[in-house]
Each structure stands twice: as C-alpha cells, then as structure tokens.
Chains A and B, each alone.
Chain A
Amino acid sequence: MLVARTLTKEYRSGTAPLAVLRDVSFDIPEGAFVAIVGPSGSGKTTLLGLLAGLDQPTRGAVLLDGEDLTRLDEDARARLRGEKVGFIFQSFQLIPTLTAQENVQVPLELQGRGDAGEKARDLLTRVGLGDRLDHFPSQLSGGEQQRVAIARAFANEPRILFADEPTGNLDGTTGAKIVALLDQLNQESGATVVIVTHDLGLAEHAQRVIRLRDGVVIEDRPGRGGAGTHPGADDASGPAAGASA
C-alpha cells in the first residue's frame, strides 16, 4: 500500500546540508495500523509529510498505492491526496469559518461529489456529533473538534489515513476515546492508518510500531493493537535499522 524507499530529507543549514531523515525504508500493507514514534526532533513529522506527499524528499521515493509520489507535481499530489488520503492533525486544523458539517464536506466538494452534505451528516453522526452539525469549531470542545477532523479524514473513504499527534492536544480520557474511534473506523473501513506520535501508550494501540531517532529507523516491531500481520516489518526495517543503529 505504502512503500518508503531510502527516504532522505536534507535542509540547508548555513553552507552544510543537514539531514533530518536518512535512508528510511519500509513497506506498509493495506489495512495496517502503524505508529511512527520517536522523541521530539527525530524526524517523525518530516517522515509523515513525505509519506503523505506534502513534501518532496531530497532522495528516495514514496510509492502510494503503486504510484511514485516523487514523480508527481504538487497539483497531481493534491489530487491524489483528495482521492486516497485522509489527514488528522494535532491542532485539529478545522477551517474556523466553516461549521462542523461544512468542514467534513470540503474534501468531498473539492472532488465534485454531489452527496457531500448527506455523507458529512452521516459521518458526523457516526462519530457522535449528529447534534453538532451546525456548530463552528470555536463552539466545540477539543475532543469534539478532533472527532470532526476524523470524520473529515474519512469523508472520501481514503485508502490511507495519516494522523499527526492526534491526541497531542487532548486530555488522557478524551485521547483514549479518539484512539478507540480511530481503531474502530480502521476496522470498519479497512483503511491503512499511519499515526505519528511521541505518546508510547497511544503507539501501543497500533499493530506495528516504527521508532525513529535522529532521522533513522531504530526499531520496527509489532505493537499490541489488533492481530494484523506486518509483512513489511521484516523486509524493510532490517537493512534500514541495521544501517542506522
């Protein structure tokens, strides 16, 4: 489903290049629930950005559903995101000027879907916000906002969902509920879920945990969540981990 091939991302710092990610490789099969963990500055968010096609690597490739993201221009990647990718952000990133329902409608409308309203209402009802459709983000609690974000992320039935610290701005109880909801939707939709977090408790809900430090994968192991297989774990983490450990 998602393949990272020797991903390297460098930034220029003064005259010398500064590598944020180095030769990261792994495969994530369809339907998997994967957590990418690591301390602050380990390159987690950079990796997420590259996997989701939000940014381009300095070297290496990302294959999403067989399509090499590094060969697509920004608009083609946007189209791909619109069709196959869902996002959940730490700070929810709801559009403040739109109601809950309108926020969920956006990806559908950008695709030109005629059933956007109906689908959005259905999704919000499924995440327990059927009575909050016309509320603006500022009128919702943090947990509710994140549920709207999850509903939005699942709106165009993505093949893969990326979540960046989805519980980072929530208290423990609310965070747990959000994870349970994500888990449930993952089970129901069969979508691949990739979570970036530094919360090890959350990571353990995943079927597989990839650990980063200083831009390299130092561990790729099964998590305690679900019973899925992790066919990519052995292929990908070995050489990458070996190279960087």
Chain B
Amino acid sequence: MRAPLSTLFRLAWRESRTARRRLLLYMSSISLGVAALVAIDSFAANVQRSIKEQSRTLMGGDLNLRARQGFSAAADSLLDSLATAGFPSAKVTSFASMASAQPSGNTRLTQVRAVTPGFPFYGEVLTEPAGRWAQLHRGRYVLVDPSVLIGLDAQVGDSLQIGYARFEILAAITNIPGDPGIASTIGPRVFIPAQYLAETGLIAAGARAEYEAVLKLPEGTRTPIWVAPLRPRIEKENIRIRTVEEREIDLTDAIQQLARFLSVVGLIALLLGGIGVASGVNAFVQRKIDTVAVLRCLGASSAQVLTIYLVQAAAMGFLGAAAGAVLGIGIQFGLPKMLGDFLPVDVQVSLVPSAILLGLGIGVWVAVVFALRPLLVLRRVSPLQAIRRDDAALAESRRKDSATQITNLALVASVIGLAINRAETVSQGLLFAVGVFVSIGTLWLAAAGLARLTRRIVSPTWPYVLRQGIANLHRPAAQTQSVVLALGFGSFLVTTIVLVQTNLLAQFEFTAAQSRGNLVFFDVQDDQRSGLAALVSESGHEVVSETPIVTMRFAGGNGLTTEEWAERVGMPARNWALRREYRSTYRDSIVPTETLLSGEWFGERQLPAGVYEVSLERDITDELKATLGDTLQWDVQGVTIRTVVTSTREVDWGRFEPNFFAVFQTESLRGAPAQFVTIAAVSSDTAVARLQREAVRRYPNVSSIDLSLVRGTINQIVSKVTLTVRFLALFSLAMGIPVLFSAVAATRRDRLREGVLLKTLGATRAQIGRILLAEYAVLGLLGSLSGMLLAVGGAWGLVTFVFQSTFSFAALPALGIAAAMMALAVSIGLLTGRDVFRETPMAVLREG
C-alpha cells in the first residue's frame, strides 16, 4: 500500500515547518507581478464598466454631431424638424477667448463653451454654490471652472467680459460629465448661454471654433439603427456623427490599450518574479538534499519526494500570489485618485472577482512552473547521500533530463500563453512574448558578458578584498545572473522612464528659452494690427514679430479639381490634407524654425502671370503627394490662387512660434483678408498683465497667451504625470527586491562557510565586511550598467521615434539611479550576509 495524496500533503505541511518563511520570501517575488496584473485588470474593468454606465452622461446625449465649419442652414433645419418630431437637441460652440474680470481687471485665456438650453441631456453639472447650472439661461450669466476664479482673482457675482459681451459669474463648476479633470488645467472652461454668443463678436469668418450638437433619443432607441437613414443627409453637411456606442468603443479601446501596455510591464514583473522563485527554490533545494536522501532511505519514491516539495512550493506560491492580489486590490483603489484627472469618467471602484482569480491563477502557475525546474533535482537525489555526501553524485542529479526539457518547454509555453492572454490578437501576443524574451534575454546576456568581463579585468595588483569579492561572483551555483537581471531590469525601467521624462522636459525648456517673445496676441484683425503694435511700444516693450494668417482650402492641382487630384495621386477623397482648413502665411524669407529640404526659396523666378510660388512643409508634401514643380490651386475665401511648389521645408513644430504647412510669396496673398499673430517681448509679469488687460479692453476679440503661464500649465501637467511615472519607477525598483533576496539567499550557505573559513584563517570582521561590500557593489554596478545600457537604447528609441525629438543622455539622473541600485544591492547583500559576522568558526565547522 502506498501513501495516499492526503498523507503526502500532511507530510509536506509538517516538513515545511522551518522553511515556510523562507519559501514565502522566495514566493513573494511574484507578489508584485500579481499585484500589477490584478490592479491593472481590475482597474481596466472598473473604468470600462464606468464608461458603459456613464456613456450617455459622458456625451451629454445619445448622439453627437460635430461640424468643423458650423452647422449649415440645412443642418439647422434638420435639427429643428427632429426636435419637432420629439428628438430634442442642444448645441455647444467651443472656442478660445480672453476673459477679463471686473473689478480685479485681470485677464486670461479661457475655453468658452456657448451652450443652448437642455445641455447636457444626461448627467448632472455640479456647481458651487449648488444648483446654479439650471439658472444659466435666465440671464447674462456665466459658469466658470474654479481655476478661472483663482486665476482672475474673481468671485461669484463679479463680472466677466468675453469678447464684446459682459456676463455675471453665477457659480463655479465643480464637476461636469464628459471632460477629464485635466481639461480645466489645459484650458479653463467658461460656460455661457448660446443666445449671447453673437454678442461676444468672436465668431467671425475664419475664427477657430468647434460646433457640436447632442441629440436625445427616446429611452430604448437603438441609436445606430435610428441614425442610419439620416446619416447620408447629415454627412453631406460635413458633419461627423458619433453614437453613444461608438464613443464608448473609442474610450474603452483607449483604456484597453493602456491596460494592455501596463499589463505587459506587469507580466515582465511576474516573469522576473518567476526567476526569483527559481533562484530561491534552488537555494531551498540545496538545504533539502539531506532530508530527501533520508526520505529515500525510508522508502519514499522520487514521485513522492517531488510531490511533497511541489505541494510546499505551490502552497507558498499561492500565499505569495494572494499577498500580491491583496496588494493589487489596494493599488486598484488608489489608481483612480492618481489617474482620475486623466480619465473622462468618475471611476466607481469595486472588486472584480475575475481579475483577482485570474491574477491568483497566473501567479500560482508561474510560481509552480518556475519552482518545478530546480525541484526536479530532488527526484534524482540518491539515498546514498544520507550515509555519505557525494558531490559528484549530486552534480549528476542536476543533469538535465527529459523532465527538465519538458519543464523548459512548459516555461516557454507559459510565457507565450500569458502574452497571448494579455494581447488583443494571437500575433500581438506572440510579438509580446518575443519582446519579453528579447528584453530578459538581452539583460541576461549583458549580465553574463559583464560578469565575464569583470573576471577578466581583475588584476593581481588589486586589493585582496576586492579580488575576493569579484571572485565570489563566480562561485559554483552563484546566482550572479539572476541578481544582475533583477537589478538590471529595475534599473532599465526606471532609467528609461527618467531619461524620456528629462529629454522631453529639456526639450520644452530649450524651446521656451529660444522663443524670442513671451507674450503672444492672436486673432488680431488687420485694422487692429497697428493699434496693438503702438500699444506695445508705447508701454516700452518691443514687438518681435507680426505674422499674417490667411485661411484657405486646397483646391486641386495641375489643373485638376480636388477630387480628380485625389484620384490621380491615389489618396482617399476624405483625406484630412484635402479637406482641412489651411491657416497659411506669406513672407519673403525663411525663418529660423525652418530648414529648406529641396528646391529654392522664393526668388526672381519667371512664372506666368497670376501664378505664385509656395513652399510646403515636408509631411504635408508627402500627404498631398505633391512634388516640386506641381501647380496647386488654393481657395482663399472664394478666390482661387494658383501656385507652383518651388521648395519643401522641415519645420520645428515644438517651438512657440507660428509655423505653417504652406508659406506663400507675399504678393500672392497681399490683398487677402488676414488675421495676425503678434509676438511681443515684455519684461515683467506685471507688465504682461497690464498689457493683456489693456489689449482686451481695446480689442476684446484679441486673445493673448503669456508663455510663462503656458510653461506653468505644462509644469502642472508634467508634475501630475511625474507622480504617475514616479510610482511606476518605484514599482519597478520594488519588484527587484524580493528577487534579489531570493537570488542572494541561494548562495547563503556557501557564503557562510567561506566567511567562517576566512575567519578561521584570521580574517577580521571588517575584512569580511569589505569582501561582501565589494561583491555586492560590483553586482550593483553590473546590474545598473546593463540596465542603463538597455535604457539608453530604449529611451533613445522612444524619444527619436515616438516623440520625434533629439535624444540627449542625461548622465546625472542615470548615475543617480545607478548609485541607488548599488546601495540597494549592498544593503540587501549585507542584510543577508549578517550571519557571516555573527557565526563563530566552530559552529559551522562542526556542521561539516
């Protein structure tokens, strides 16, 4: 009769007594990975559920219509007839404008939203004082974001001038459905009744505004079916239709993509944890050889032995995963607070059992698969080891057999399976898996290469403690690679994040510093231009530039209409480059933000009468599929202008200066109605405020931006992003710690023996301490170096290709991270190695 499984479970439980804490420590390597998966999955599920629940509220109606150029008369009459038929609609017109408060006299740029009664059809707008939204349409009232009140030093009851109209501030808006919180930081909102829109005098031809309408449909209407017959009529009026379902898909898609990206990080954390588990269990196995040999003497079969220890590993793996799940749930509750400003919905956090179970399942699976590999050795421990420790036989038991190969295959299959589970499609999953293998593989190789290099460059002239410390990296069964991998991966993630962040910020600083002026006036009409310039110079400041802007549309080329052109060059007729409104300028010289790529700048070229030169930006040239020498037509507010493409330019869009897709020869547009952007260099903040106030008073339609304010706004956003980034970085660092502990623990016994032996030979505690210090400092250095090398590559790729900017290596933060990594490695090493200091030589020598 053989022992039933329950007996083996009982034996496993008893036998694990003193090892539980240690096993749990090893298994905690997977906790952070599980925490990440549970948090991300739960959070994504919660956000998606919230979006689904709030989708109508988010849009303010069941159907959203958006017209770039305003609603045509035909569109308006369609909306009217729909309203008569029981499908009410409300309109929102959004545009940027200066707002000036009285009595404070302060001004600032705001995002004006002119709304008609009824908006929003769903959801509640919360105000302070409460309940004021309903009163908006009862007079010349305005409701504003709290930041407007702060920025303008105004309060409820004060008056606010927008364009030529004056309103009374009725309340501050504390929450409005549909906008992420960050919207108020980027452009503080001001809501006015649409009936006073014309009075502001800001919606003139060529003004930049967005026109939207939301429709309310009866309860239970299936929007896509309802809208289908109307679609052709609506779209004919250049109106884009979004149903609540489409909006929902857009939002959930974005969240899912974010969740997918984050869960890849989580997955890598989990796999790294798996490596930690393998290292730790390897150490555990070393300690269990004697017990296993005795069990074998007492008649235990290899399967029974494996079962006993696998049960222990699985149980501790479960606890490690459970701890991770609990942590994940905690993080999930914190995420909406951290990311709330970036989310369009108020996320209702609740437990998502499927996410928790999935995280637990994946965690236990990873723990077991990674533990199995070292545990397989126990099957082959000879009972003879109980009588006499035979290292040759032990080495033999580590020989790879078919079971090891199968476990290896299971490991690879697990990674692929998990990646596919995380990805949208199988091919994406495979790509993820390859990415995971490549990043871990590259780190592994870098670690191995650096470790080998260290050994090679050691010189006999170096101090003994340093040589001994480095030699320790190569002791048998040393977990150098695992430690370096854990450190390297943490350092890789943190350094990448920090490098990208510093590069982007540095770029912004650079751009801001390079801009010649600091106060930008836009929407300046032709007849206001000289007055504004006079105002600036009278107050003792300098007008740096005045740039004319002429709005126009592409009207085909080489004698073809737009549609024919599209067909000829093979681009969709709805392509944005064909349909967009171009805001172009005219001048005779190239500016510092531009580089000529091909052709020649405007010169004394002989062109037929009525044909002028135009210079196109590189991307728009590609998009329009235009080439040098093409004759392009432009519809400039009803007048057709013919131009020949004589040059293409590269434009640095990052600069705070007006930049253009198409630059025309001056004489081509001289007579065209233009608006101007005037940039002034103004010395102090008070002078800026005074000038803005005066400009708004004289020219209410003219908006102005104080670039230092923009910088402040960006800093505000950056600091919010930084918080999230810091959390991610901290998480990346933290996940290396248990892995590091596990890997270091693997050689603890050997280290103890060596340390005691050295003591016996006369080494002082200080010398042993220095050897440990050297060993871990080198490990830390290797880890952070390999991580940094990869990070420089990663950050370079991200900055160059994703953010399309020039990468520069920020040495100081990178070195700071490297120092932190070394400190971490040394602390953990000394903490784990403290027994070496404590143990007397006799105790260990007696142990044999």
**Partner-B contacts on A (CB < 8 A):** 45, 48-49, 52, 54-55, 74-75, 78-83, 85, 87, 89, 93-98, 102, 106-107, 109-113, 152, 156, 164
Contact = CB atoms under 8 A, between A and B. Distances in A.
A107 B382 CA distance: 17
A55 B386 CA distance: 12
Contacts, number: 101
A111 B387 contact: no
B686 interface: no
A31 B572 CA distance: 99
Contact of A45 (B1, B19, B387): B387
Given A82-B300, A97-B17, 4 more contacts: A87-B294, A93-B293, A97-B16, A110-B299
12 contacts: A48-B387, A54-B382, A78-B302, A79-B299, A79-B301, A87-B298, A93-B290, A94-B294, A97-B15, A97-B16, A98-B15, A106-B295
A113 B565 CA distance: 90
Contacts of A75: 301-303
Contact of A78 (B10, B19, B291, B296): B296
A98 B16 CA distance: 9
Contacts of B303: 75
Contacts of A164: 387
A163 to B, nearest CB: 11
B671 interface: no
B384 A49 contact: yes
Nearest to A113: B1
A163 B301 CA distance: 21
Given A98-B15, A112-B7, A78 B301 contact: yes
A81 B302 CA distance: 13
Q: Which of B11, B299, B303 has the most CB of A within 10 A?
A: B299
A93 B11 CA distance: 17
B297 interface: yes
A108 to B, nearest CB: 9
B304 interface: yes
B388 A109 contact: no
Contact of B1 (A54, A94, A111): A111
B2 A111 contact: yes
A144 to B, nearest CB: 18
B294 A95 contact: yes
A74 B294 CA distance: 14
B812 interface: no
Contacts of B2: 79, 110-112
Given A54-B382, A95-B291, A107 B387 contact: no
A112 B14 contact: no
B4 interface: yes
B383 interface: yes
Nearest to A138: B18
Interface residues of B, number: 33
A94 B382 CA distance: 17
Interface in B786-845: none
Interface string B277-291: 000000000000011
Given A55-B382, A74-B302, A112-B1, A49 B11 contact: no
Given A78-B299, A82-B298, A95-B291, A54 B15 contact: no
Given A49-B384, A93-B386, A98 B14 contact: yes
Interface string B13-52: 0111111000000000000000000000000000000000
A152 B3 CA distance: 17
B377 to A, nearest CB: 14
Given A96-B18, A111-B299, A81 B3 contact: no
A87 B300 contact: no
A106 B384 contact: no
B289 to A, nearest CB: 12
Contacts of B16: 97
B10 A97 contact: no
Contact of B19 (A54, A81, A97): A97
A102 B300 CA distance: 15
A94 B294 CA distance: 8
Given A110-B299, A111-B3, A93 B294 contact: yes
Contacts of A87: 294, 297-298, 386
A235 B301 CA distance: 35
A3 B249 CA distance: 80
Nearest to A97: B17
Contacts of B10: 109
A74 B383 CA distance: 9
Contacts of B388: 45, 49
B394 to A, nearest CB: 14
A106 B7 CA distance: 10
B383 A54 contact: yes
A112 B299 CA distance: 11
B297 A112 contact: no
A96 B15 CA distance: 8
Contacts of B294: 87, 89, 93-95
A83 B1 CA distance: 10
Q: Ordered nearest first, which 6 A-B pairs have the shortest CB separation?
A: A82-B299, A97-B17, A112-B1, A112-B3, A54-B383, A107-B298
Contact of A106 (B17, B298, B302): B298
B316 to A, nearest CB: 14
B15 A110 contact: no
Contacts of A81: 296-299, 383
Contacts of A156: 299
Contacts of A97: 14-19, 291
Contact of B3 (A89, A102, A109): A109
A54 B387 contact: yes
A112 B301 contact: no
Nearest to B300: A110
Contacts of B299: 78-83, 85, 107, 110-111, 156
Given A54-B382, A54-B383, A95-B291, A110 B14 contact: no
A109 B11 contact: yes
Residue among B3, B290, B304, B382 with max Cβ neighbours from chain A (10 Å): B3
A217 B61 CA distance: 100
Contacts of B290: 93
A117 to B, nearest CB: 11
Contacts of B19: 97
Contacts of A112: 1-4, 7
Contacts of B384: 49, 54-55
B291 A54 contact: no
A102 B14 contact: yes
B387 A109 contact: no
A81 B386 CA distance: 14
Contacts of A83: 299
Interface string B372-403: 00000000001110111000000000000000
A89 B294 CA distance: 9
B172 to A, nearest CB: 66
Contacts of A93: 290, 293-294, 297, 386
A110 B383 CA distance: 15
Nearest to A86: B298
Contacts of A152: 298
Interface in B530-572: none
Contacts of A102: 14
